[in-house]
Amino acid sequence: MQNTFKTFHDLGYVRFPLSRDLLPWVEAAREAGRVAMQDARHAQWWRHRRTWFVGVDCLPNLPDGALPGAPPLAGEVISFLRDSLGFAGPWHQAQVSVCFPGYPQRDEDETEAQHRFRRFRDAAHVDGLHGEGPARRRHMREFHDFILGLPLSEASKDAAPLVVWPGSHRIMQQVFQTALAGLAPEHWGEADVTDVYQAARKRVMETCPRVELPASPGEATLVHRFTLHGVAPWGEHATASGHGRMIAYFRPETRNKLSWLLLS
C-alpha cells in the first residue's frame, strides 16, 4: 500500500491489477449500463453523433456502491481508498461512459477548434471546471476527492482509452491555489480561472508525457483530482464488445474544500 500511495501522489494516477472481488460488481454494472443507454430518460447523454454516451449519474448503484444482484464495491482499490486516502463512502451514482467506433465525430454545435481539441488533444481537462456564458469562461463548480475508473467491457488497447499526463496534478494544484488565494471556499466558484487554467494546460502538454491507460474488467484506475486527463480517439482497428468501450467513473464530492485545495 505504501508504494501504491507514493505512485499515486508522484504520478497523479495509479493502476490496480485484476481483482476477482470486483468481477460480480462489474457484471452487474455492465448490464445496468446497457439498460441505461437504452433508456429514453438518458437520451440527452448521447454525444458526437452517437459515438459517445456520456452517462453522468446513470448507474443506479446505492450509497455503498452495491447494485441489484451484486455485492458492494470491493477489491484492492477500495481497500486503498479506505485505508490510505480515508474514503469510506458514500458513493454517488456513477457515470457510465461508453465510446463506439468513430469517436469523436463532430457535433453540430461544436466549432472546428473544439473538435480539433477533442480529436488531437483528447479533450484534455481537469474535472469540476464548468464553461459558462457565451465565451465559455471557466469556473470551478465541483470539488471531487478523486476519479475512479472501473472498466466494464472488454476492448482493445486503442478503443478510446483514458489518457493522463503524469505530474500534471502538481502543476494544476499550484495554479488553483494561486488563483483562489484570499477567497473564502464558498466563493471559489465565482473566480474566473480561464486564462491561468489554459496556460497551465499548455504547460502540461509541453512538459509532461502523454500516457494512455487501457484497462480490462476487474482492473481499476485511480486518478488524482487535479490530474489533466482525457479520452483518446477510437483507433482505426480498435475493437470492443457489443456494448462498446464501457467504463464506470466515480467522482465523489469532497466534504472539505480546504483539504481539496491544499492537501496532496
Give residue 88's pLDDT band: very low, low, confident or very high (50, 70, 90): confident
Does 104 sit behind a cis peptide bond, omega within 30 degrees of 0 on the bond before it? yes
The answer to whether the beta carbons of residues 89 and 221 sit under 8 Å apart is: no
Full-model pTM: 0.96
Tens-digit pLDDT profile for residues 175-198: 999 999 999 999 999 999 999 999
Does 63 sit behind a cis peptide bond, omega within 30 degrees of 0 on the bond before it? no
DSSP annotation of 67: -
Rounded to an integer, the average pLDDT of 139-168 is 97
Q: Which residues contact 80 (CB under 8 A, 6 or more apart)?
A: 1, 4, 5, 16, 222
CA distance readout (Å), 228 to 73, 178, 197, 236: 26, 18, 11, 25
Rounded to an integer, the average pLDDT of 88-109 is 96
Rounded to an integer, the average pLDDT of 152-179 is 97
Q: Is 21 exposed, middle or buried (0-12, 13-18, 19+ CB in 10 A)?
A: middle
What pLDDT does residue 2 have?
Answer: 66
The answer to whether the beta carbons of residues 82 and 148 sit under 8 Å apart is: no
What pLDDT does residue 1 have?
Answer: 66
Rounded to an integer, the average pLDDT of 61-73 is 90
Tens-digit pLDDT profile for residues 114-134: 999 999 999 999 999 999 998
Place of cell 502538481: 170
Which cell numbers in the block locate residue 147? 476519479
Rounded to an integer, the average pLDDT of 12-33 is 96
The answer to whether the beta carbons of residues 56 and 95 sit under 8 Å apart is: yes
Give the C-alpha separation, 30 to 35, whole Å: 9
Percent of the chain with pLDDT over 70: 99
Q: What is the amino acid identity at position 197?
A: Y
What pLDDT does residue 69 have?
Answer: 81
Rounded to an integer, the average pLDDT of 57-76 is 92
Q: Which helix (H) or strand (E) holds 98?
A: strand 95-99
The answer to whether the beta carbons of residues 29 and 149 sit under 8 Å apart is: no
Tens-digit pLDDT profile for residues 200-253: 999 999 999 999 999 999 999 999 999 999 999 999 999 998 889 999 999 999
pLDDT > 90? residue 62 = yes
Q: What is the amino acid identity at position 195?
A: D
Give the C-alpha separation, 260 to 176, whole Å: 11
What pLDDT does residue 243 have?
Answer: 83
pLDDT > 70? residue 54 = yes
252 backbone dihedrals φ, ψ, rounded to 5°: -60, 140
Rounded to an integer, the average pLDDT of 253-260 is 91
What pLDDT does residue 263 have?
Answer: 77
Give all domains of the chain, ordered by start, each with its CATH number.
Answer: 2-255 (2.60.120.620)
Give residue 158's pLDDT band: very low, low, confident or very high (50, 70, 90): very high
